[in-house]
Amino acid sequence: MGRIQQCVKDVLNTANKTEDFGQAKKRIEQLFVVSKAAHRGHLAVAQRIRDQINRAYDDVPMNAQPCLDRILEWLDREYLQPRQQAD
């Protein structure tokens, strides 16, 4: 299993068992540290994580979905939405 797949599996497991946003976020940040050199930044990794969570979203229990929603919003806000540049 690849690093990204393992990370997503861990995040889904965290959301399902403890609904701990902080722990799930920390797991993704650990992956970013490991993969930063290989991917020259976080954009590609963040997008792959987001895509895999989206594919699994409907298969997780309802009580886990709010945690995943927060993770997706965080990924969008911090890594996937284009930054506005000051003029």
* Confidence (pTM): 0.85
Residues 6+ apart with CB under 8 A from 70: 21
Higher pLDDT, 42 or 31: 31
Are 67 and 21 a contacting pair, CB within 8 Å?
Answer: yes
Averaged pLDDT for residues 22-45: 85
Averaged pLDDT for residues 53-66: 96
Pairwise CA distance, residues 66 & 19, whole Å: 8
pLDDT tens figures, 7-25: 999 999 999 999 999 999 9
Q: Per mean pLDDT, which range of 8-17, 32-41, 59-68 is the poorest?
A: 32-41
